C-alpha cells in the first residue's frame, strides 16, 4: 500500500504509539494545525485500515496486533536466541531480518516522536545481525581464544590508581599515546574489564574512518550504547547529541549512582565536532566520578590530562605471556620479528598456534598483514576490498548491494573474517569493524588509486537509494562521490545534507593518507 507523504506521516505517528490513544492535538501539531487536512486523512486511513484503526473518546488508536513487522521481528529474534540448534536459529534470524525493508521510520527518524523508536529498532536489528553471525560461527569454525595482555604491568598500576581517584570523586582524563599496533585498544579493554569488576559502567566511543565518517559519530555510539545497556535510564538519554552542559549534567548524574569510564579510541580519527564536545564535557565534569580514557597515534585534539606512552613489549614479557600457546623458541622468535608490536604478535600467534617451526615467521607488520590478507579466499578478499572503501565500521546492506549478493551471504563471510582475525564483531550495538587500522589501511592501499576511485563510485551508487529514505546517510553519499572524483554530484549531495559543498570534498580526503603512522 503506497501512501502520500501526509497520510504516511500520520500513520507513522500512530504506529509509534501502537495500542495507545493518540490525542488529536498531537496529530494536529504534526501537520502544522491543518485541521481539515487531518480529518480528511484520518477518514481515508480508517477506510483503509478498519477495524485496526479506531476512534476513541480521547483520540485515535492503532491496534495492529501481531501483524506489525517490528513486533513480529522482535518475537522472531527472541525465538532465534532461545533456539538450541544453530541451523534452526539461522533460519529464524533470517526471517526476522527480512522484516526490515530499509531504515526504521525512514523520513521521520529525526522527529521527537519517532527518533527514539527508530534508534531502538535499529539497535535491535544490529544486535540480531551480530547474533546471527555468532550462530553462523558455531556452524563453521571454533571461535579462537582471546590472547592474554602482554606486559603493561606498570601502565595498569597507573590506571588502577586513576580508577581509585574517579571512584572517590576525583575524575580526570588519561591520555594513551602510541603508534599503530602498540596495543592501545587492548589496554583500554583491560581497563574496562577492571572497571566493570569494581562496579563502574564502561562506555566505548569509537571514531569512524574513511569516506562518510559522520560528525559526532563517537558520541552517537556512546549514547546508543547507554540506552541499550541501561533501559532504566532511557528517558534521560536523548537520541540527538545534546549541548556540552546538558551532556556533562547527564553523565555526572549517572556517575553519582554508578561511576563511569568513557573510552575514546583512535583519537586520530575523531571528527572535529566530537573533539570539541569531548574537551568541553571533560572541562565541565569537574569532580564527577568519571574517568575519561583517550588513546590514539595523535592526541592534539585530546583534553588535558596525564599521558601514558606505550613502549614496545620486551622479549621476556612475550615469552611469559605466550608460554602456554606456543613453544618458548617460537615465542622468542615472534618477539624479535614483531618489533615488540602486540598487534603483530597476536597475528603471528593466531597463524602459528600448535607449530614449533620458526622458519616461516615473517618480519614486521607489513609482511604479517600481507600474509594475513593473502590467506583469504576470493569471496573473503572481495568483501574486505569493498569494506576497506567503507571504512572501519561496516554496513552489511551496503556491502551486499556493492557485491551483488544477498545480505546473509555477507554476514556469513563476516563470520569467517572474524575467525580469521580480520574483523571484530560490533561492540555495544556498533557495526562490525576491522580489528585494527593497520588491516584496513593495508587492504585499502593495496587497491591502487584507480581501483579505489571506482570502488567509491560503486559504494555511492549503492547508498543513493538508502539516502533517499534516510537523511542521515546523505553526507555518506557525498563523501564517497568526492572520493570517486565526481565532484559536482558530491557538492549537490552535500547541499542536500545542509553542509557547505566543500565539506564533502574535505570529507573525501579523510583516509587517503594511510601511511600507518
Buried residues in 191-210 as b, exposed as e (16+ CB within 10 A): bbebbeeeebbbbbbbbbbb
How far, in Å, CA of 195 to CA of 189, rounded? 10
In a 10 Å sphere around its CB, with 0-12 CB exposed, 13-18 middle and 19+ buried, how is residue 449 labelled?
Answer: exposed
What residues are paired with 172 via a beta bridge? Answer: 291
Structure-model confidence comparison of residues 472 and 203, the more confident one: 203
Cα–Cα separations (whole angstroms), residue 220 to 301, 358, 430, 476: 18, 46, 10, 16
- pLDDT tens digit sequence for 313-353: 888 988 888 877 778 888 888 888 888 888 888 877 776 65
Are 149 and 186 spatial neighbours (Cβ–Cβ below 8 Å)? yes
**pLDDT over threshold 90, residue 230:** no
The predicted structure's pLDDT at residue 507: 41
Q: Where are the alpha helices (DSSP H) in 198-271?
A: 217-229, 244-257
Considering only the C-alpha atoms of the chain, give the largest distance between any 2 of them, rounded to a whole number of Å.
83
State the residue for C-alpha cell 569494506: 387
Structure-model confidence comparison of residues 148 and 460, the more confident one: 460
| Residue 307 host element (H or E) | strand 307-309
Are 304 and 275 spatial neighbours (Cβ–Cβ below 8 Å)? no
Question: Whole-model pTM above 0.75?
Answer: no
Count of helix runs (H) and strand runs (E) in the chain: 23, 9
Are 268 and 438 spatial neighbours (Cβ–Cβ below 8 Å)? no
pLDDT, average across residues 73-102 = 81
160 confidence band (pLDDT: 50, 70, 90): very high
Structure-model confidence comparison of residues 471 and 192, the more confident one: 192
SS3 197: helix
Structure-model confidence comparison of residues 292 and 415, the more confident one: 292
Q: Is the peptide bond before 51 cis (omega within 30 degrees of 0)?
A: yes
SS3 442: helix
The predicted structure's pLDDT at residue 200: 92
What the block records as the C-alpha cell of 430 is 556498533
308 confidence band (pLDDT: 50, 70, 90): very high
Q: Which range (290-294, 319-323, 471-475, 500-504) has the least confidence?
A: 500-504
CA dihedral 208, 472, 249, 272 (to 10 degrees): 40
DSSP string of 29-90? Answer: HHTTT-HHHHHHHHHHHHHHHTTTEEEETTEEEE--GGG-HHHHHHHHHHHHHH-SSHHHHH
511 confidence band (pLDDT: 50, 70, 90): very low
CA angle 468, 469, 471 (to 5 degrees): 75
pLDDT, average across residues 209-223 = 69
Amino acid at each position: 500500500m503506497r501512501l502520500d507523504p501526509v497520510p504516511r506521516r500520520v500513520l507513522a505517528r500512530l504506529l509509534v504509539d501502537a495500542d495507545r490513544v493518540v490525542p488529536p492535538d498531537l496529530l494536529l501539531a504534526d501537520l502544522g494545525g491543518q485541521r481539515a487536512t487531518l480529518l480528511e486523512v484520518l477518514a481515508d486511513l480508517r477506510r483503509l485500515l478498519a477495524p485496526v484503526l479506531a476512534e476513541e473518546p480521547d483520540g485515535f488508536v492503532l491496534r495492529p496486533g501481531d501483524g506489525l513487522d517490528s513486533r513480529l521481528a522482535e518475537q522472531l529474534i527472541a525465538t532465534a536466541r532461545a533456539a538450541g540448534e544453530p541451523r534452526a536459529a539461522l533460519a529464524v534470524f533470517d526471517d526476522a531480518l527480512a522484516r526490515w525493508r530499509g531504515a526504521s521510520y525512514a523520513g521521520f527518524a529525526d522527529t521527537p516522536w519517532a527518533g527514539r523508536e527508530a534508534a531502538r529498532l535499529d539497535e535491535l536489528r544490529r544486535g540480531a545481525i551480530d547474533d546471527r553471525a555468532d550462530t553462523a560461527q558455531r556452524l563453521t569454525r571454533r571461535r579462537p581464544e582471546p590472547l592474554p595482555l602482554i606486559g603493561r604491568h606498570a601502565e595498569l598500576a597507573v590506571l588502577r590508581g586513576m580508577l581509585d581517584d574517579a571512584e572517590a570523586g576525583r575524575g580526570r582524563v588519561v591520555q594513551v599515546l602510541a603508534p599503530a599496533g602498540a596495543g592501545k585498544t587492548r589496554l583500554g579493554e583491560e581497563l574496562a574489564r577492571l572497571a566493570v569488576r569494581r562496579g563502574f559502567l564502561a562506555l566505548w566511543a569509537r571514531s569512524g574512518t574513511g569516506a562518510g565518517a559522520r560528525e559526532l559519530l563517537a558520541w552517537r555510539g556512546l549514547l546508543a550504547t547507554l540506552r541499550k545497556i541501561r533501559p532504566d535510564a532511557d528517558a534521560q538519554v536523548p537520541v540527538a547529541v545534546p549541548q556540552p552542559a546538558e551532556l556533562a549534567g547527564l553523565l555526572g548524574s549517572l556517575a553519582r549512582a554508578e561511576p563511569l569510564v568513557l573510552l575514546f579510541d583512535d583519537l586520530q580519527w575523531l571528527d572535529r565536532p566530537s573533539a570539541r564536545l569531548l574537551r568541553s564535557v571533560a572541562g565541565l565534569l569537574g569532580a564527577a566520578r568519571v574517568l575519561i580514557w583517550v588513546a590514539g597515534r595523535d592526541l592534539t585534539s585530546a583534553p588535558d590530562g596525564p599521558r601514558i606512552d606505550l613502549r614496545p613489549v620486551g622479549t621476556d614479557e612475550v615469552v611469559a605471556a605466550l608460554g602456554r600457546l606456543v613453544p618458548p623458541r617460537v615465542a622468542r622468535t615472534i618477539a624479535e620479528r614483531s618489533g615488540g608490536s602486540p598487534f603483530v604478535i597476536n597475528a603471528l600467534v593466531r597463524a602459528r598456534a600448535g607449530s614449533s617451526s620458526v622458519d616461516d615467521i615473517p618480519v614486521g607488520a607489513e609482511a604479517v598483514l600481507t600474509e594475513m590478507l593473502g590467506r583469504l579466499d576470493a569471496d573473503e578478499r572481495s568483501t574486505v576490498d569493498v569494506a576497506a572503501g567503507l571504512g572501519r565500521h561496516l554496513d552489511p546492506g551496503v556491502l551486499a548491494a556493492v557485491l551483488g549478493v544477498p545480505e546473509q551471504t555477507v554476514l556469513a563471510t563476516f563470520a569467517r573474517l572474524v575467525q580469521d582475525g580480520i574483523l571484530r564483531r560490533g561492540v555495544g550495538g556498533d557495526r562490525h569493524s576491522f580489528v585494527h587500522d593497520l588491516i584496513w589501511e593495508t587492504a585499502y592501499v593495496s587497491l591502487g588509486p584507480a581501483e579505489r576511485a571506482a570502488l567509491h563510485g560503486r559504494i555511492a551508487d549503492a547508498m543513493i537509494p538508502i539516502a533517499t529514505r534516510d537523511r542521515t546517510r546523505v553526507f555518506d553519499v557525498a563523501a564517497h562521490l568526492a572520493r570517486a572524483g565526481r565532484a559536482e554530484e558530491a557538492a549537490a549531495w552535500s547541499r542536500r545534507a545542509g553542509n557547505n559543498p566543500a565539506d564533502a570534498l574535505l570529507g573525501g580526503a579523510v583516509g587517503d593518507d594511510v601511511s600507518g603512522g
